[in-house]
Amino acid sequence: MDKIVLKGGKKLKGEVEISGAKNSALPIMAAALLAEEESVLENVPNLSDIMTMIRLLHSLGAKAHYEGGILAVKPGKNLNPVAPYKLVSTMRASVCVLGPLLGRVGRAEVSLPGGCVIGPRPIDLHLKGLRSLGAQIDIQHGYVVAKSKRKLRGNDIFLGGGFGSSVLATGNVMMAATLAEGRTYIQNAACEPEVVDLAQFLKKMGARIQGEGSPRIEIEGVKRLRGTTHSVIPDRIEAGTYMVAAAMTGGDVFIKKCMPEHQNALMDRLSQSGVRIERNHSGLRLRRNGGLKPVDVTTLPYPGFPTDLQAQMMALMSVTPGISVITEKIYPDRFMHVAELNRMGSQIFLEGNSAIVHGVKRLSGAPVTASDLRASGALILAGLVAEGTTEVRRVYHLDRGYEHIEEKLSRLGAEIRREKE
């Protein structure tokens, strides 16, 4: 097992290029199953989650070849509708093959994705939406068994949940509805850029979709879809992580190949905290004007502040003079990183679904353990400004969502390396 070793104190300078969005690529890979012909996906990041999805596609009978950021997926005529536990259990996004299999094959057996350290994330909205399209769904021996005796039929579907909309549920229902008879209206649909990117891919395949990016999506079913070529959007969470890194270290960093319009909530908070941000057609430049100021953050569905940047923002506020309040309204249990940040000298106190952050002058390097993907990013950020050496363990979490993070940070001037435990 690997670990990341950092020595803090270096200001980051230079430019960093953002990779393709994992959370966009994974549903699009699943959507490729809707056609028999080959689809070619560009700007696909080299991450462990991507490799897991490739193995899942192989297990379903599709051919998939990945090289140099380009992924070719050829499903062929005959698909195996069973997604096994050994693959689905390692990556929650595997559940997004449910909609495509049901839509094209009329049957899907997908293992339940299980629990997660950031709190329970049930798939009830996925099942509700697919049932509304006419699917019969049972839970048998830990598997979701979905089937339709006849072609799926369009319907008016409300996908509201206890914590708002669901990106993966919206994608799953949208994919299944592309081959259903009639029209489907998804109400309270997720508005995230990853949903828009999936819809754009489906439309290139021949799907008829309107309203993506809004809370109401309309899908008119078609008889068949065809293979196509599509480039995955840049990863807004990776870009946001490097933006926070520039702010924390007081550096001067240009974020290349990002989409500034996806970062409005983060840019607002960073600007309020004293970071100077310049935007142009090719990216964002971040510099800090003097000291940092505390800001309060509340995570919300897009276009609100992303829950996937909550941990990184907490790392920034932990070295910002004053008191900040960070409230988590998407996954209230997503605070596993607090104990590890406190090991490095942070003063963070939990009250329900809020974290009260008392900024300190400096952090101290320490051995810390990553609990999940975004917590890993937060601990890396803390290590960039901590005195002494920080060792971040369980970096397999990092490899799920940050492509070559130690190489990119090193090119910006960070003293960072990967070692074997």
Catalytic residue of the set 96, 116, 191, 258:
116
Q: Distance between CA 414 and CA 392 in Å, rounded?
A: 15
**Burial status of residue 289 (CB atoms within 10 A of its CB: 0-12, 13-18, 19 or more):** exposed
Cβ neighbours for 66, distance < 8 A, ≥ 6 positions apart: 44, 46, 50, 51, 54, 72
Pairing of strands 367-369, 389-393: parallel
Amino acid at 388: G
Beta bridge partners of 387: 364
Catalytic status, residue 258? no
Going by C-alpha positions, the residue among 290, 286, 294 that lies closest to residue 314 is 294
Q: Distance between CA 182 and CA 165 in Å, rounded?
A: 24
Count of H-run helices and E-run strands, the chain: 14, 24
Amino acid at 383: G
Q: Distance between CA 382 and CA 368 in Å, rounded?
A: 11
For tokens 């130690």, what's the residue?
A: 406
The answer to whether 259 touches 234, Cβ cutoff 8 Å, is yes
Q: Distance between CA 380 and CA 136 in Å, rounded?
A: 45
Q: Distance between CA 172 and CA 297 in Å, rounded?
A: 30
Catalytic site positions = 116
